[in-house]
Chains A and B, each alone.
Chain A
Amino acid sequence: MTDVINAFVLIANFILVPGLTYGSQLGLGALGVTMIYSVLRFSNFAHGEMMSFGAMVTILMTWWMQAQGFSFGPLPTALFALPVSIIATIGLTLTSDRLVFRYYREIKAPPVTLLIVSMGLMFFLGGLIRFIIGPNDQQFFDGERFILKARDFKAMTGLSEGLAIKSTQGITVVLALLMVSFVFWFLTYTRTGKSMRAYSNNEDLALLSGINPDRVVMVTWIITAVLITLAGTLYGLDKSYKPYTYLSLLLPIFASAIVGGIGSPVGAILGGFVIAFAELFITFAYKRVLGYLLPEQLEPSGLMQLLTTDYKIALSFVILVLVLIIKPTGIAGGKTL
């Protein structure tokens, strides 16, 4: 029996906890992509760089607060820098829309034009971010590192396998849960949220009903900016902040949005977890789990890995491509362009 529990703890430690964390980060990013897609009707390739921008402002603000001697005990300072970076990112998205995207909306440019324009913005933001903070790794985590240490867990339960939960993992899941609940509440119950859904569903009829498109677009960018800042900061806090990683994060995020069904908020979250867990389950070495579950003579000699961890990120692309080919509307049945 202990063997079964040990096996479960092993899986919880190496798949469940990291999967929940990474899934939340992807889900937040994908929800942003999906919101922009359903209201503004294009795939925003600058999304990754916007996340990077939000994280960067958080880092700068954190450094400033640390220099001022602020400390929040066990909580990371970055959490308290968030309001500033959220405001800065809202500024960024609204300015981008005013200077870049609005024009193409007015001339009713096809989505692919907007996609290419967003690529230009991606270049610009990438440069701007590197210009300000440099291309290197930045550490900005402080406070208590663990909620639960593997050693404590072992002492507590007497099991031979440990379960560790980093505080960044806890913070990620809690904040993501709060934010996603807020977005769903907003879209389902508020007048503005409903008008956003209406606009996304049937633009002409929304205009006929007196829904102001400029306002819908503005609110969409504001909510997306909050999602962007949270996703960018939480990812940086949990892993590490490096401008380049945010460009590579773009594809897993698109993958999550598409796998879930682009245009569907529920799908975005679902997709994030599907991608995250698929990566972990497929690249996990089951040797030790099987060691607990199987009788001794059957214990495997190899790592019992479906794919080496080298292919972890590539897996999300494989899933993306498979979904695009087999069911382009995704799990939750989103739109196809």
Chain B
Amino acid sequence: MTNHHRTYFAFLMMTILLIAVGILQSWNVAFNILNLCVISAIMALGVNMQWGYAGLVNFGIMGFVAIGGLAGVVISMPPVTEAWQAGGVKLMLGFATMLAVIAIAIVFWKRTRGWKHLARRRYVIMAIILISGYAVFRYIADAAVVSIEAVDPAKTGYLGGLGLPILLSWIVGAIAAGLVAMLIGRIALGLRSDYLAIATLGISEIIIYILKNEDWLARGVKNVNGLPRPVPYEIDLQKEAWVNTLADGMGFSVVNASSLIVKIAYLSLFLAVLLVLFLMAEKALKSPWGRMMRAIRDNEVAAEAMGKDVKRRHLQIFIIGSAVLGLAGAMLTTLDGQFTPPSYQPLRFTFLIWVMVIVGGSGNNYGAIIGGFIIWFFWIEAEPIGLWLMDLLTSGMSEDSALRDHLLKSAAHTRLMTMGIIMMLVLRFSPKGLIPEAKR
């Protein structure tokens, strides 16, 4: 089978599977899965740029996705004026102080380079500047944070956002993730593959810790709910005449029809983004730039010898890929209508995306998208399928058998096992994934 056939076949299978879910479970479930399939595909696309084009191991996916999610909050939620009055301004002053201290420290460090009479004292002075700066910052900020978090903590207790349309956060999320990636890339990209993986994983954990604990920013573990939507609300739709007629015509209940319409509205937004990204990614991959990236990936030393600025290119692709992840994160938060820092776990947001890229076929954009679709589908559907299989397997046992009971209860965990087995099988027997990278 050529790649083209494989691609068509895979998409055909996905369609059939989703239709089956629509008929067997419900259309709402099917569209829910499909929506997340598209978001997963975008994440996979982002990782594929970094790994597939350039061979960079980014295990910090979770962090970039969460930054995108945070952008959703910061852009769309209304500002909490009381909190700003209570301590917001003061907190910003605190940050300004810290920035000033860092600036002073940098200037001091640069200006005193080579001042022999300072010698070791240079380090001491540097430490004093930084520590006393941190103390001043904590002195200002701690009080400010306390007063911000005391403002109606059950409902707000944070600074709120800018009250702008949430769609704007898709762009802002991408830019924010890109900026963070630039910072991380500058310090971590010099590391070799293993270390880069571990460093990015660590940094993403730090990002989540900050989001979980800095309540003034996005309410931490208390979550932010009720983000404004880019699409209409079900309740409003149910009042519309055309929705009622449509529901009658399709034989759905109005409630059902309205939630389907909302999901389809989201889907069309997501698909538009996916399409644009995909076209851009394909164009980039086929351009001289893409050729250069692959040349660097395949032989860094040779590429460097040919005068390619490997470090710069790596940083570039790391930023672009991470920005795509931030975009996907903002989209996810938009779809969820809430931002929940505790839900960001590496298994779901970092390692699962890697399974998608590996299974789909690294270095191939079609592969990444199909990987995103298939793996997300099975991630969700492995549970009902596992339960069904377990039920079938244990049907011979008596109703009150303890083993049967245990097996049925544990069926949900088969999905982790399934992911592991799929991944190991693909790596072993089809290491280039379902849709291998095309030879150009």
Bound pair (A, B): yes
The reply to whether B420 and A123 form a contact with Cβ atoms under 8 Å apart is yes
B423 and A119 within 8 A (CB): yes
Within 8 A of B (CB), among A118-164: 119-128, 130-132, 134-135
Q: Which residue of B lies closest to A103 (CB)?
A: B428
Give the residue of A127, A132, A317, A318 whose beta carbon is less than 8 angstroms from that of B420.
Answer: A127
Is A27 an interface position by the 8 A CB rule?
no
CB within 8 Å for A126 and B416 given contacts A43-B197, A247-B347, A317-B203: yes
B192 lies within 8 A of chain A by Cβ: yes
A interface: dominant SS: helix
Say yes or no: B192 contacts A124, CB within 8 Å: no
Decide yes or no whether A100 CB sits under 8 A from chain B: yes
B202 and A321 within 8 A (CB): yes
Interface centre among B202, B205, B354, B423 (most CB of A within 10 A): B202
A254 at the interface (CB under 8 A from B): yes
Alpha-carbon separation in the docked complex, A46 to B415 (Å): 17
Does A70 make an interface contact (CB < 8 A)?
Answer: no
B209 A314 Cβ-Cβ under 8 A: yes
Given contacts A123-B416, A127-B420, A311-B209, contact A115 B57 (CB under 8 A): yes
Interface readout for B399-435 with A: 1 if CB under 8 Å, 0 if not? 0000000000110011111111101100110010000
User: Using Cβ atoms and an 8 Å threshold, which residues of chain B touch A121?
Assistant: 420, 424
Query: Is A43 within 8 A of B194, CB to CB?
Result: yes
Assembly CA distance A326 to B150 (angstroms)? 40
Given the known inter-chain contacts A124-B417, A328-B195, A337-B193, please indicate yes or no for A321 contacting B424, CB distance below 8 A. no
Q: Does the CB pair A251–B202 fall under 8 Å?
A: yes
> Which residues of chain B are within 8 angstroms of A311 by Cβ–Cβ distance?
209, 213
Contact, CB under 8 Å: A120 / B413? no
Query: Closest B-chain residue to A132, C-beta based?
Result: B410
Q: Is the CB of B417 within 8 A of A128?
A: yes
Q: Which residues of A contact B199 (CB under 8 A)?
A: 320-321, 324-325
* Contact status of A115 and B194, CB under 8 A, knowing A120-B420, A247-B347, A311-B209: yes
* 8 A Cβ contacts from B176-208 to A: 187-188, 191-195, 197-199, 201-203, 205-206
B-contact 0/1 string along A234-274, CB 8 Å cutoff: 00000000000001000100110010000000000000000
Task: List A contacts of B187 (CB < 8 A).
Answer: 321, 325
Residue B86 at the A interface, CB < 8 A? Answer: no
In the bound complex, how far is the Cα of B205 from the Cα of A119, in angstroms? 17
B351, CB-defined interface residue at 8 Å: yes
A124-B421, A124-B424, A321-B203 as given contacts; A337 in contact with B195, CB under 8 Å: yes
The reply to whether the CB of B358 lies closer than 8 angstroms to some CB of chain A is yes
Instruction: Evaluate contact between A131 and B194: CB separation under 8 angstroms.
Output: no
- Grouping DSSP codes into helix (H, G, I), strand (E, B) and loop, the B interface class, with mixed when no group exceeds half, is helix
Quote the shortest CB–CB distance from B257 to chain A (angstroms): 37
Bound-state CA distance A169–B405 (Å) is 37
Chain B 213-254 per-residue mask, 1 if CB under 8 angstroms from chain A, else 0: 100000000000000000000000000000000000000000
Check: A336 CB closer than 8 A to any chain B CB.
yes
Contact B417 A255 (CB under 8 A): no
B346 within 8 A of A: yes
B355 in contact (CB, < 8 A): yes
Contact at B195–A126, with CB atoms within 8 Å?
no
Task: Kindly list chain B residues whose C-beta atoms are within 8 Å of the C-beta of A116.
Answer: 354, 358, 427
Interface: A60 (CB within 8 A): no
Q: Which residue of A lies closest to B192 (CB)?
A: A337
> How far is B297's CA from A110's CA once the two chains are assembled, in angstroms?
13
Residue of A nearest to B358 (CB): A116
Residues of chain B within 8 A (CB-CB) of A111 are 193-194
Q: Which chain B residues lie closer than 8 Å to A325 at the CB level?
A: 187-188, 199
Whether A308 sits at the interface, judged by CB under 8 Å, is yes
- Residues of B near A320 (CB, < 8 A) are 198-199, 202
Pick the residue among A123, A131, A254 that contacts B351 (CB under 8 A). Answer: A123
B212 touches A (CB below 8 Å) = yes
With both beta carbons as reference points, the residue of chain A lying nearest to B194 in the complex is identified as A43
A117 at the interface (CB under 8 A from B): yes
The answer to whether A130 touches B195 (Cβ under 8 A) is no
Q: Are A126 and B347 in contact (CB under 8 A)?
A: yes
Residue of A nearest to B139 (CB): A302
Asked if A310 contacts B423 (CB within 8 A), the reply is: no
Contacts of B194 in A (CB 8 A): 42-43, 111-112, 115, 337
The size bracket of the interface on B is 35 or more
Picked from B205, B209, B417, the residue with its CB within 8 Å of the CB of A310 is B209
Cβ-defined contact, A314 with B417, below 8 A? no
Q: CA–CA, A127 to B351, complex, Å?
A: 14
> What is the minimal beta-carbon distance from B53 to any residue of chain A, in angstroms?
15
Query: With A127-B419, A135-B413, A317-B206 as given contacts, are A112 and B57 in contact (CB-CB < 8 Å)?
Result: yes
B-side contacts of A321, CB under 8 Å: 187-188, 199, 202-203, 206
- Looking at the complex, which one of A113, A115, A123, A336 makes contact with B417 (CB distance below 8 Å)? A123
Within the complex, the shortest CB–CB distance from A278 to chain B, in Å, comes to: 14
Q: Which residues of A contact B191 (CB under 8 A)?
A: 324, 328
Q: How far is the CA of A150 from the CA of B414 in the complex (A)?
A: 45
**Interface flags, A289-333, vs B, CB<8A=1, else 0:** 000000000000000000010110110011011001100100000
Bound together, the chains give a CA A110 to CA B192 distance in angstroms of 12
Residues in A neighbouring B424, C-beta threshold 8 A = 100, 117, 120-121, 124
* B195 adjacent to A122 (CB under 8 Å): no
Q: Does the CB pair B209–A258 fall under 8 Å? A: no
Measured CB to CB, the closest approach of chain A to B155, in angstroms, equals: 22
From residue B360, how far is it (CB to closest CB) to chain A in Å?
14
B57 touches A258 (CB 8 A): no
CA distance in complex: A116, B433 (Å) = 13
Docked pose: A136 CA to B213 CA in angstroms: 24
B282 to chain A, nearest CB (A): 25
Q: How far is the CA of A337 from the CA of B202 in the complex (A)?
A: 18
Residues on the B chain within 8 Å of A251, using CB:
198, 201-202, 205
**Which chain A residues lie closer than 8 Å to B409 at the CB level?**
134
Nearest CB in chain A: distance from B3 CB, A: 22
Across the interface, name the chain A residue whose C-beta is closest to B425: A120
Chain A residues whose C-beta falls within 8 Å of the C-beta of B197 in the assembled complex: 43, 112, 115
What's the nearest-Cβ distance from chain A to residue B409, in Å? Answer: 7
With known contacts A42-B194, A255-B202, A130–B420 Cβ distance under 8 A: no
CB distance from A127 to the nearest CB of B (A): 3
21 contacts between A and B (CB under 8 A): A42-B194, A103-B428, A112-B193, A113-B431, A117-B424, A123-B417, A123-B420, A124-B417, A127-B415, A127-B420, A130-B410, A131-B413, A247-B346, A314-B209, A317-B202, A320-B202, A321-B188, A321-B203, A321-B206, A324-B199, A328-B191
Interface residues of chain A, those whose CB is within 8 Å of chain B, are: 42-43, 100, 103, 110-113, 115-117, 119-128, 130-132, 134-135, 247, 251, 254-255, 258, 308, 310-311, 313-314, 317-318, 320-321, 324-325, 328, 336-337
Since A120-B419, A130-B410, A131-B414 are in contact, a sample of 11 more A-B pairs with Cβ atoms closer than 8 Å, ordered by chain A residue number, is A112-B57, A115-B57, A120-B421, A122-B420, A123-B423, A124-B424, A130-B413, A132-B410, A251-B198, A254-B198, A313-B205
Closest 6 CB pairs between A and B? A124-B420, A127-B416, A127-B417, A123-B420, A120-B423, A317-B202
